[in-house]
Amino acid sequence: MFDRLWAMLMKEFLELRRDRWAMFRLIVPLLIQVVAFGYAATFTVNHVATSVLDLDHSQASRGLVSHFVATGRFEVVDIAETQRQITRDLDTGRATVAIVIHAGFEQNLNNGRTAPLQVSVDGTNSNTALIALGYVSQIVAQFQAEQMANAWPAQAAAVSPSVSVLLQERPWFNAGLEDRWFFIPGVIGTLTLIQVVSLTAFAVVREREVGTLEQIMVSPIRPFEFILGKAVPFFLIGLGEVALITIFGVLWFHIPFVGSPLVMLLGASLFLLAALGLGLLLSTLSRTQQQAFALNFFVVNPLFILSGFAFPIAAMPRVLQWFTLINPLRYFLVIIRAEFLKGVGVDALWPDLSALALLGVGMFTLSILRFRKSLD
């Protein structure tokens, strides 16, 4: 059996080696996508284009605006003269945030009255708007506290020690709240899935299409050995990709890797088993490479969207959340991110690892059974 398996493996590796561009085609798009995700995939809110209408022209109003600018979250792109101009800025998208300071702002503050401050946010991008609004209220609170301390030391002293609850928030695992630390580990699972599934599906369908599958079947090689011979090279390629992107992410993007490479390897192996199984399954469902291509897209795309890669699973409708339970990528992403950022071991990850093991072994077995049938 090992002789035959060995012969099959040699054949596969020879085919890979003969195709001089194969490695190039595998690696270059991979790295381009990692770089693109690393730089482009960001939800941060900095330098938001801001339009200011200051009808007060006072020290306080200028102070407030400089509070906004000083955080680096907002950048004044237009000093408006009229309310119409503000509306125009938001309409055309020149500004995302508009601050209107009414006349009498400083006077009201100094006399202990409430000074209204109008802040309009373009809610088109709900995510940016939500985060920007959070910053706005923080900045205004900060400004108010300083104003009170300066202008009304007596009152400030009287009010502030009354009662106040302070929030000490500490983001763990990703203290700088870097989106990249979230996306680059995610890219590992996503790109590996896309490549391994399509490579496997195409490799088998190609043999079928060219007619070499029949030649192999009349040789003494058994179906199981054939599948293993196909699977092992792609398994190794998959592991190589995981390692490559991991190293690239750590060295180029300086993503910390605090976990254990062994747990990662375990997770990746189980995940690749599922991906190989899926690829083989698709190959049994398609006669031609074109069919494989179309089928591949219809299957892999939902796995990608419904994995929690970019969009939180908790934000999906219930039915789609159930679907994510049979998505191997979902579990692998949890494992990769945990190994990169949290550094937890098998004791914390066993639910995800066992789900992945179940899916991996299940899919691989299913594909072998179906594949044997499709040969008859």
Task: For the segment 322-361, give every residue that binds other proteins (CB under 8 A).
Answer: 334, 337-338, 341-342, 344, 348
Rank residues 41 and 228 by Cβ distance to other proteins and give the closer one.
Answer: 41
Dihedral over Cα of 91, 92, 98, 101: its sign: negative
Contact pick of 160, 215, 219, 365 for other proteins (by CB under 8 A): 160
Rank residues 36 and 79 by Cβ distance to other proteins and give the closer one.
Answer: 36
- Is 124 an interacting residue with respect to other proteins (CB under 8 A)? yes
> Of 61, 73, 86, nearest to 147 (Cα)?
61
Residues 128/48, Cβ–Cβ less than 8 Å:
yes
- Is 314 an interacting residue with respect to other proteins (CB under 8 A)? yes
- Is 5 an interacting residue with respect to other proteins (CB under 8 A)? no
With a CB cutoff of 8 Å and minimum separation 6, the contacts of 47 are 72, 73, 74, 75
- Is 252 an interacting residue with respect to other proteins (CB under 8 A)? no
Contact pick of 2, 20, 40, 218 for other proteins (by CB under 8 A): 40
With a CB cutoff of 8 Å and minimum separation 6, the contacts of 1 are 222, 225
For the CB of residue 307, give the shortest distance to other proteins in the complex, in Å: 10
Contact pick of 118, 150, 215, 219 for other proteins (by CB under 8 A): 118
Residues 332/194, Cβ–Cβ less than 8 Å:
no
- CA-CA distance, 283 to 51, in Å (whole number)? 56
Task: List the beta bridge partners of residue 26.
Answer: none
* Residue spans of alpha helices (H) in 306-345: 318-324, 328-337
Residues 196/238, Cβ–Cβ less than 8 Å:
yes
Which positions from 7 to 36 touch other proteins by CB under 8 A, shown as an x/- string?
A: ----------------------x---x--x
Kindly identify the residues of this chain, within the stretch 47-86, that bind other proteins according to CB under 8 A: 47, 49, 64
- CA-CA distance, 201 to 16, in Å (whole number)? 15
With a CB cutoff of 8 Å and minimum separation 6, the contacts of 151 are 109, 110
Rank residues 344 and 358 by Cβ distance to other proteins and give the closer one.
Answer: 344
- CA-CA distance, 260 to 251, in Å (whole number)? 17
Rank residues 14 and 320 by Cβ distance to other proteins and give the closer one.
Answer: 320
- Is 164 an interacting residue with respect to other proteins (CB under 8 A)? yes
Q: Which stretch binds other proteins (CB under 8 A): 127-135, 229-237, 238-246, 365-373?
A: 127-135
Q: Which stretch binds other proteins (CB under 8 A): 1-9, 10-18, 146-154, 353-361?
A: 146-154
For the CB of residue 231, give the shortest distance to other proteins in the complex, in Å: 23
- DSSP one-letter code for 315: G
- Is 144 an interacting residue with respect to other proteins (CB under 8 A)? yes
For the CB of residue 365, give the shortest distance to other proteins in the complex, in Å: 28
For the CB of residue 7, give the shortest distance to other proteins in the complex, in Å: 29
- Is 317 an interacting residue with respect to other proteins (CB under 8 A)? yes
Kindly identify the residues of this chain, within the stretch 177-196, that bind other proteins according to CB under 8 A: 177-179, 181-182
For the CB of residue 32, give the shortest distance to other proteins in the complex, in Å: 8
Q: Which two tokens stand for residue 259?
A: 């976990």
Nearest 5°: phi and psi at 309? Answer: -60, -50
- Is 42 an interacting residue with respect to other proteins (CB under 8 A)? yes
Residue 10 half-sphere exposure, CB side, CA atoms within 13 Å?
6
Residues 306/331, Cβ–Cβ less than 8 Å:
no
